[in-house]
């Protein structure tokens, strides 16, 4: 019965003096966001993500494979979420195989993580073959590692050099 009386009294006060009620409630729940006492606005288990992009260019003459690499910063962990490849080659080649892998600061990090095959789209024929490929990917780069990219054709590229670019996008997290 006493609880009912308290609820009735609070309702009556809030109707008769709404400004005073609002001030009382605001005082009780006021939160100050200062540099000395910051209010958390994100989970400490999910550090802030920042947009990351990486690009590298490769070229090789009289060979059937070309390489390039994109370094990761020493204090960032990178997650690649999309890969795109562009290449041109000798017109006698009709397919290109693209690969992406991780080179750790201590040495090669294992097998290649992403493979992509592209057929010549005919844009540069009869003087050259043209390839383009884009796909979703999940590749993790530890701090100080490198993302390796390669393009390979079946035959040598003696008339037109094997050349192109690798494009990667995703996010990075700054480590303490």
Domain 50-174: CATH architecture, name and number where available: Sandwich (2.60)
Residue 83's DSSP bridge partners are: 135, 168
User: What crossing angle do the helices spanning 18-29 and 2-16 adopt, rounded to 10°?
Assistant: 110
Report DSSP state, residue 48.
P
- What H or E segment, with its residue span, contains residue 15? helix 2-16
Question: Where in the chain are the domains?
Answer: 50-174
For 37, other C-beta atoms within 10 Å of its C-beta total 8
Percent of the chain with pLDDT over 90: 52
Strands in the chain per DSSP E: 50-60, 65-71, 76-89, 95-104, 107-108, 114-119, 129-141, 146-153, 162-174
- Reply yes or no on whether the pLDDT at 93 is more than 60: yes
pLDDT, tens digit, for every residue of 8-49?
556 545 555 566 666 655 565 566 667 677 766 666 556 688
Is residue 93 within 8 Å of residue 154, measured between CB atoms?
A: yes
User: pTM (2 decimals)?
Assistant: 0.70
- Reply yes or no on whether the pLDDT at 51 is more than 90: yes
């Amino acid at each position: 019965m006493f609880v009912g009386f308290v609820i009735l009294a609070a309702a009556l006060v809030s109707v008769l003096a709404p400004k005073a009620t609002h001030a009382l409630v605001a005082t009780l729940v006021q939160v100050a966001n200062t540099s000395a006492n910051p209010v958390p606005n994100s989970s400490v288990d999910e550090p802030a993500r920042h947009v990351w992009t990486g690009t590298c260019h490769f070229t090789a003459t009289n060979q059937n494979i070309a390489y390039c690499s994109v370094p990761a910063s020493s204090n960032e962990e990178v997650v690649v979420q999309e890969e795109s490849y562009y290449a041109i080659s000798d017109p006698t080649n009709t397919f290109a195989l693209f690969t992406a892998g991780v080179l750790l600061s201590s040495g090669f990090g294992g097998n290649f993580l992403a493979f992509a095959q592209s057929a010549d789209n005919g844009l540069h024929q009869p003087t050259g073959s043209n390839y383009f490929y884009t796909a979703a990917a999940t590749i993790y780069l530890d701090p100080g590692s490198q993302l390796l990219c390669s393009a390979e054709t079946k035959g040598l590229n003696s008339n037109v050099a094997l050349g192109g670019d690798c494009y990667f996008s995703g996010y990075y997290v700054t480590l303490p």
